[in-house]
């Protein structure tokens, strides 16, 4: 059996030099803002209440900004979310 070829990538992690999948961080943040997810807005992450405290501009790592553009503070801690994971209150 041949060894599996390793690329060194993980799901959701973008390698340096690769184009962003779908849209850039700025476009994802702008789309979230157009949907009403602005700083200070109360939201629900599932059933947990929270407040949008900022925007994720990370271009590498496990939680890149074009997938998870919103930073939300809840009673359980701070998390990065996509607009589809949240509901406006």
pLDDT of amino acid 3: 62
pLDDT of amino acid 21: 53
CATH code at position 68 = 2.30.30
Q: Quick check: is 65 in a domain? A: yes
Distance CA 66, CA 57 (A): 8
Q: Quick check: is 30 in a domain? A: no
Q: Quick check: is 71 in a domain? A: yes
Locate all alpha helices (DSSP H) within 2-89, ordered by sequence: 25-34
Quickly state the pLDDT bin for 20 (edges 50, 70, 90).
Answer: very low
pLDDT of amino acid 23: 81
Q: Which residue has the higher pLDDT, 17 or 22?
A: 22
- Residue-number span of the structural domain to which 55 is assigned: 40-88
Average pLDDT for 44-61: 95
Task: Write down the pTM of the prediction.
Answer: 0.74
55 forms beta bridges with: 70
* Total of domains in the chain: 1
């Amino acid at each position: 059996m041949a060894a599996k070829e390793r690329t060194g990538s993980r799901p959701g992690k973008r390698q340096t030099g690769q184009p962003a999948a779908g849209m850039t961080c700025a476009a994802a943040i702008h789309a979230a803002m157009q949907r009403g997810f602005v700083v200070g807005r109360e939201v629900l992450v599932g059933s947990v209440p929270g407040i949008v405290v900022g925007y994720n501009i990370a271009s590498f790592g496990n939680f890149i900004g074009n997938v998870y553009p919103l930073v939300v503070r809840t009673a359980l801690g701070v998390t990065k979310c996509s607009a589809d994971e949240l509901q406006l209150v």
